[in-house]
Amino acid sequence: MAKVNISPNRTTDKTIRTIDRKRERERKKMFLRAKDHAPEFAAKLVQRLIDREIIETTSVTDIREAIETQLGKLGYIEEFELQMKIAPVRTIAQDPNVVSLYFTQFIVEDLIENPAIQDVFGDDLDVYRAVDSVFRVLRQ
């Protein structure tokens, strides 16, 4: 009977691919859940940002609609775009939630340009903590 030759590199590659597939499935599931419940998540996130004094706004409705629109687009974002968006804050937390990272960058880079936003307070970690407190439920 022939002896099966198991290469350590082959085993390692197989393990890495398995982990990558698992992460990809988890991420897609989180994106779909966020998209399906966009109005609730948008309302909670805006309220949390205001309560923690992260944002100062003239129109809560405009900000909620902007976040809800972004949640709707989340399922259609390309991998490259996603990675480019979260790159500056990728190391902000150990085992970060990709949706929380994305929205942290969205708030810091894009939402600040919204005319209804007067100012964004706190550093990236403060914003991430507020955002993650809302999107933490997506990982369950």
Q: Are 63 and 116 in contact (CB under 8 A)?
A: yes
Residue 121 domain flag: yes
Residue 45 one-letter amino acid: L
The candidate with the shortest Cα–Cα distance to 31, out of 101, 113, 130, 112, is 101
List, for residues 33-69, the tens digit of each pLDDT value.
Answer: 999 999 999 999 999 999 999 999 999 999 999 999 9
Q: Is residue 3 one of the residues assigned to a domain?
A: no
Q: Round to whole Å and give the CA distance between 82 and 10.
A: 29
Rounded CA-CA distance 53/45 in Å is 12
| Local confidence band at 13 (pLDDT 50, 70, 90 cut-offs) | confident
In a domain, 41, yes or no: yes
In the numeric block, which tokens belong to residue 64?
């909620």
Contact (Cβ atoms closer than 8 angstroms) between residue 117 and residue 78? no
116, part of any domain: yes
